[in-house]
Amino acid sequence: MPAVRSKICGITRIEDALAAVDAGADAIGLVFYRRSPRAVSVQQARAIIAALPPFVTTVGLFVDASRCELGEILDAVPLDLLQFHGDESADACDGYHRPFIKALRVKPGDDIAALAARYPKASGILLDTYVAGVPGGTGESFDWSLIPRELSKPLILAGGLTPDNVADAVRQVRPYAVDVSGGVEASKGIKDAQKIRAFIDAVKGGSAA
Ligand SMILES: O=C(O)c1ccccc1N[C@@H]1O[C@H](COP(=O)(O)O)[C@@H](O)[C@H]1O
């Protein structure tokens, strides 16, 4: 099985971005959702991205952002990939002509394959846990057995992943990639370099099994 890729989301500091890259992360996530404790300004995002070495994917996370707000951020910040984490329609996601992944928040009874099929232009589908009233970053996991064996798009598994459970998640789900925020933090918005390294080592361990 090819190594499962890792994205470390909710980066707010240059040192955390560099710790993620140093540990082997493939992507870092920058949250442009003002209500998140991990939200970054355009200036912060630009400074973090400017400090990165090449070949690290920069992902901008949005939750039902207006066209105007998102357009202004895209003009100012060199993002490689957009992550739509709200209730955005397929048309809204497609409208920026940028590669994107669509997050679906999973609850029992969902037809995940059918929901994913609504986004034919997505580069990948991210599955996170449904928690009423919160769009994501909750630190809650969901029942991975709800995930269909075959999805039409690369699957990015998220939701409550930690250094302790991610190897099991990788073995069970065999995703294309995993995404973590709270599970590698010292406090909201501040990452813990040791937890990041332990997380990525566990992803590699799970991939090799
Ligand atoms: O990180 C946030 O604050 C956030 C806010 C709003 C929507 C999504 C958010 N983060 C994403 O949520 C999932 C799961 O995070 P966690 O590992 O359970 O903390 C992940 O995809 C984050 O990118």
Say how many Å lie between the CA of residue 9 and the centre of ligand 1: 7
Residue 208 pLDDT more than 80? yes
Residues 59, 61: Cα–Cα separation, whole Å: 6
User: Is 93 noted as a catalytic residue in this protein?
Assistant: no
Q: Given phi > 0 = left and psi -120 to 50 = alpha, else beta, which region is 87?
A: alpha
pLDDT digit string (tens) for 6-41? 999 999 999 999 999 999 999 999 999 999 999 999
SS3 for 90?
helix
Ligand 1 pocket, residue 136 CB under 6 Å: yes
Whole-structure pTM value = 0.97
Residues 48, 204: Cα–Cα separation, whole Å: 26
Catalytic residue among 9, 16, 26, 93: 9
Ligand 1 pocket, residue 159 CB under 6 Å: yes
pLDDT digit string (tens) for 50-107? 999 999 999 999 999 999 999 999 999 999 999 999 999 999 999 999 999 999 999 9
Residues 70, 34: Cα–Cα separation, whole Å: 12
User: Is 9 noted as a catalytic residue in this protein?
Assistant: yes
User: What domains can you pick out in the chain, each with its CATH number?
Assistant: 5-208 (3.20.20.70)
Q: What is the pLDDT of residue 37?
A: 96
Phi, psi of 114 (to 5 degrees): -65, -40
Ligand 1 pocket, residue 130 CB under 6 Å: no
Residue 1 pLDDT more than 80? no
